[in-house]
Structure 1
Amino acid sequence: MASETIFNSTLSEHHWTDQIRKDFDKEYALYVTNIPVSVFNVPKSISAIKPEAYIPQVIALGPYHHLRSELYQMERYKVAAVKSFLNKEQVLNFQHLVIDKLKTLEPIIRACYHKYMDIDGDTLAWIIGIDGLFLLDIMSNYDTIINSEGRKLSQDALLSRDVMVLENQIPTILLKELRKTLQIVSAEKDDDDGLTSMLEGFCRAHSPLGLAPLAQLRPGTNCLHLLDLMYLLIVNHEGAKSVPQEASVKLDVVEDDQELGIMKDELKNNLVEISTVLTNLGIKTPLQVITRMPWEKISNLLGIQTGNKDKNPLVEEIKIPSVSHLCKFGGIRFNPTNGGIRDARFVATEATLYLPTITLNANSEVVFRNLVAYEAATSKSALELGQYVDLMSGILDTAEDARLLVENKIIQGELSNDNIAQLFNGMNKSSGKARNRTIEAVNAYFNSRPRVQAYNFIKQRNSGTNSNLAATFPYTGSLPLPPLDSTLPRQLVAKELDINEAHDEVPPAYV
């Protein structure tokens, strides 16, 4: 079977040859090598779970999706918006003023895009000219758009979603050239501050997480496009560091000790109750029965639901208990931080997981997915945003988990609890083998709780395998022991354990 080609026709092959010849001959080829690739194709390994989240639904910006038939109907709308953005003289001289200038920048334009574009130079210049000016029009009039009763669109919701798609980005280096060409700024002036400030307003209106002030970015940081700016402001947002008061720490420790005592009492009562029932059934060694009976039997008896959650098998999540399990069985609390994702931390002395406040709406999933895809594409070493999304995806399994985080003011916005859970349940693990110390700390604390240790002990003894399970514990997704209902009928216990009350001996399979 022949491999796929990037060319649609022999004519396209000639275009490629001409383009390579031009690039080879031009003196500025060395300059182009300094232009960073910033607009990436999302690989299928990332987009396979939910491909529609990575492509524009209404309007194309840039060459990747420009000629898709379902988006082409918006071209007239873009042209009309650009003409209203320009003055009369600029409209009349558009070819000479904008298109001819962009044609001289063709190698730079192509260098910004990861994918080879089978488009001739003239077409590429028109695409960047119209789409770039359309984006500048959106950014410059954004305050007017969102404050106007008649235009607080559907237009805002549809455009803001597509504007944040990775494959729809327009590089800022090209936006700067357009602003200089139209004399919005002088040709000699560095436009970094003006353009970045314009893009910042849009980012602050649509980011699901808090953003750092522009001044907090390292000097010399270049914003490559709108999505890159949002990413930089999210990752670099850090709150003021605060050390808990000694008194509050001691108080939390006292409360934790009290909770430990309660759990130990519950655990003891569980074992005593099971042992009593078995003794009444004529079993002479009840503890041996408990530790050696099939796990499914004891799970059914205690009301524990075993097995994996019903999830999309393509979605791989990190191993960590859900919010409701962390609260109920681990005694862990959840508090909002005053900072960003770098401030997410678990404080064992307080039994508290601190998480940044997040505001969710209908577009938040698209924003998150494209930010994480961009982080992965640029090979950011720490994958900080990916690790945060992995953490949230791991602990948010159900509407009840979402409700707890909403009540604790960690999640805000317009989404229902069910929609919040669905959003994060569909996010595939993205941070690879990167070490997440927050998750490690939460799991270590959770595994140290008496109920969880007892659960793992019984399961380990029952299975007769993996003698290091309790010591090494990577969280397996199973539930820890709940309190036993002391009113369970003896007949039910006998039925679950396959024990015949008429006999004094334990069936051989359980001895």
Structure 2
Amino acid sequence: MSKVPAYTRLQSKISEEQWVVYIKDCLENANWRAVARSPSIFMASSPLRSLKHEDFVPQVVAIGPYHNELGPHHSSFPKNQETERYKIISAQEMENHKIMAFKYLESTVRGINFVSIVQEFTRHIDKVRQEYDTTLFSCESDEKLAYILALDAAFVVEVLRCNAGVKRAFHGYYCSRFARPLRKSLVQDFILLENQIPLFLLLKMIALDDGCASEKDAEQALGFLVEKLAQEVLPFSSLSKGSVQSVIWNVSERKHLLDCLYRIVTHGEGTSFSPSDAAAAIIDKPTHFPRAVELYASGITFEGIKSNKMISVEFDEKKAILYMPRIRVGDETERLFRNLIAYESHVIDEVHVLSYLRFMNSLVDGPDDVALLIDKGVLAQDIGSNEEVASMWNRLSINTMRVCSATYEQVAQQLFEHCGYRRNALKAEFKRRYLSRPWLVISIFSAASLLLMTFIITVYTIELYNKPGAA
């Protein structure tokens, strides 16, 4: 009896006998060694996907095998004849753009043709399949998968080059056929977890260029494209040279574009942890601390610093200043963070992204917290209102583990202890009420001076009166 795929069995009624046969076949053919490995490109887990599934679905272009035959926007439309027709048209349109990108690549690089690329990718197809959860797509033919990835790799490389300002043959076509809003959406789709292709395929595509005499040249070229991509999509105010170089120097060790961005925002200047160190640094029950306006009422102020790393949070106990990386919250910020969370939660033995989001969730509880952080230069919002920004931070920690890194736990404890001292709140209230306005400070100083002078005159008068012979 032929096998019945799981999704088919769930959507249609089958007999108990068929179901038993299906389970037996699955047990006999299951490769437990393959299941044991962790693919680097996978579908987001149900708890995260159920919150906002459209944040994991490509909006303009499908890259890789997961969404290839479905097209962009496929899960955002109601199921009817018209939307099915539109999805087919959208998918075909982007397929044509991919073909054109490859044709321009062929015209630029001597000796390259589509067949040779497919053959090259086919030779590495086992390594490619290891990066995917192959149970989630039905592409059994190695040649078909290589065909998909060859077109996608050429398209991604050419678009990244255009995005970085590299003038190549495809550049004119790209600028004329893709409006600026569409270009932005293209790049945003390139960083989705389910829309990735293995980075070593991009390296192979770049290495075909005549300008890349060695593998190191290809890594340098891809590193430059990653740097420009990070500058466009990351919401932090600064992208230090060291943080990008740490990725560029080891770009061949990265899994895909999202992995590159993850390393930039979490490790920066080449910082690295072993799995054992990372596991030891995870705090299971993180300290909860007051929201931003309550911290401010206790005498703590905030200062935004130029940094691209999430772990750039530090509390100066003497000055009562909380230093945090500046971040601009825009339309795509939530989407980026959701994909970083999904990737970190299942592949990385660290919790830097989750720690940062839990920290911000404690700090921001309402629009007044957002307004305070904007005033102090920590936040900048581009999505309409402070209420929307506050809601975004509160949503991002839903359905995630309640853990944090040792770095954030230390800062949280310092903030909690500072708020525990009553005198800190009283001192802060005195400063705000009496010392925050210059004219009020002058008035208080003048009154204190007058009072002191009156006291001195009174004492002097008494001394003269009591002096012998003063009468």
- TM, length-normalised to structure 1: 0.61
**Please, which of 118, 136, 141 is the counterpart of residue 99 of structure 1?**
118
Once the two structures are superposed, residues 394-429 of structure 1 have per-residue CA deviations (whole angstroms, 9 ceiling, x without a partner) of 211222211111111111252332332222121125
CA–CA distance in 2 between the matches of 1:202 and 1:236?
17
CA–CA distance in 2 between the matches of 1:432 and 1:357?
24
Q: What is the SS of the residue equivalent to 1:63?
A: coil
Which residue is 1:232 aligned to? 263
Q: Check if 1:365 corresponds to 2:337.
A: no
Q: What is the SS of the residue equivalent to 1:409?
A: coil
Which residue is 2:365 aligned to? 397
CA–CA distance in 2 between the matches of 1:78 and 1:160?
14
CA–CA distance in 2 between the matches of 1:185 and 1:225?
20
Which residue is 2:127 aligned to? 108
CA–CA distance in 1 between the matches of 2:106 and 2:113?
11
Which residue is 1:351 aligned to? 320
**Please, which of 124, 142, 146 is the counterpart of residue 121 of structure 1?**
142
Say if 1:326 and 1:157 are closer, same or farther in 2 by CA, change over 3 A: same
CA–CA distance in 2 between the matches of 1:419 and 1:437?
29
Q: Check if 1:331 corresponds to 2:299.
A: yes
2:245 partner letter: A
Counting aligned pairs with the same residue, the percent is 22
CA–CA distance in 2 between the matches of 1:83 and 1:442?
58
RMSD: 3.9
CA–CA distance in 1 between the matches of 2:226 and 2:108?
26
How many angstroms does 1:59 deviate by? 1.3
Which residue is 2:184 aligned to? 157
Which residue is 1:51 aligned to? 53
Larger displacement relative to structure 2 (317-326 or 399-408): 317-326
Q: Check if 1:199 corresponds to 2:252.
A: no
Q: Check if 1:166 corresponds to 2:139.
A: no
Q: Is the 8 A contact 1:37 1:114 kept in 2?
A: yes
Say if 1:161 and 1:138 are closer, same or farther in 2 by CA, change over 3 A: same
CA–CA distance in 2 between the matches of 1:395 and 1:207?
21
**Please, which runs of 5 or more residues in structure 2 have no aligned partner?**
10-17, 72-86, 166-170, 271-285, 427-432, 434-471
Q: Is the 8 A contact 2:106 2:112 kept in 1?
A: no
- Which structure exhibits the higher relative contact order, with contacts defined as CA atoms closer than 8 Å and separated by 6 or more residues? 1
How many angstroms does 1:151 deviate by? 5.4
**Please, which of 218, 223, 228 is the counterpart of residue 254 of structure 2?**
223
**Please, which of 49, 62, 65 is the counterpart of residue 64 of structure 2?**
62
CA–CA distance in 1 between the matches of 2:315 and 2:342?
26
How many angstroms does 1:140 deviate by? 0.8
Q: Is the 8 A contact 1:132 1:175 kept in 2?
A: yes
How many angstroms does 1:372 deviate by? 2.1
Q: Is the 8 A contact 1:132 1:170 kept in 2?
A: yes
Say if 1:433 and 1:386 are closer, same or farther in 2 by CA, change over 3 A: closer
Which residue is 1:72 aligned to? 91
CA–CA distance in 1 between the matches of 2:247 and 2:104?
34
- TM, length-normalised to structure 2: 0.66
Say if 1:352 and 1:88 are closer, same or farther in 2 by CA, change over 3 A: closer
Q: What is the SS of the residue equivalent to 1:354?
A: strand
Q: What is the SS of the residue equivalent to 1:86?
A: helix
CA–CA distance in 2 between the matches of 1:448 and 1:378?
41
Which residue is 2:105 aligned to? 85
CA–CA distance in 1 between the matches of 2:333 and 2:419?
30
How many angstroms does 1:180 deviate by? 3.2
Q: How does 1:492-507 map to 2 (within 5 A)?
A: none
How many angstroms does 1:331 deviate by? 2.4
Q: Is the 8 A contact 1:318 1:394 kept in 2?
A: no
Say if 1:349 and 1:5 are closer, same or farther in 2 by CA, change over 3 A: farther
Q: What is the SS of the residue equivalent to 2:164?
A: helix
Q: Check if 1:409 corresponds to 2:371.
A: no
CA–CA distance in 2 between the matches of 1:352 and 1:4?
62
2:219 partner letter: D
Once the two structures are superposed, residues 313-341 of structure 1 have per-residue CA deviations (whole angstroms, 9 ceiling, x without a partner) of xxxx983322222223x222111134332
CA–CA distance in 2 between the matches of 1:218 and 1:97?
28
How many angstroms does 1:166 deviate by? 0.8
How many angstroms does 1:207 deviate by? 0.6
CA–CA distance in 2 between the matches of 1:4 and 1:448?
66
CA–CA distance in 2 between the matches of 1:324 and 1:397?
9
CA–CA distance in 1 between the matches of 2:108 and 2:303?
56
Say if 1:202 and 1:189 are closer, same or farther in 2 by CA, change over 3 A: closer
Q: Is the 8 A contact 1:97 1:181 kept in 2?
A: no
CA–CA distance in 1 between the matches of 2:230 and 2:387?
26
1:427 partner letter: L
2:193 partner letter: L
Structure richer in helix, relative to its length:
2
CA–CA distance in 2 between the matches of 1:424 and 1:175?
34
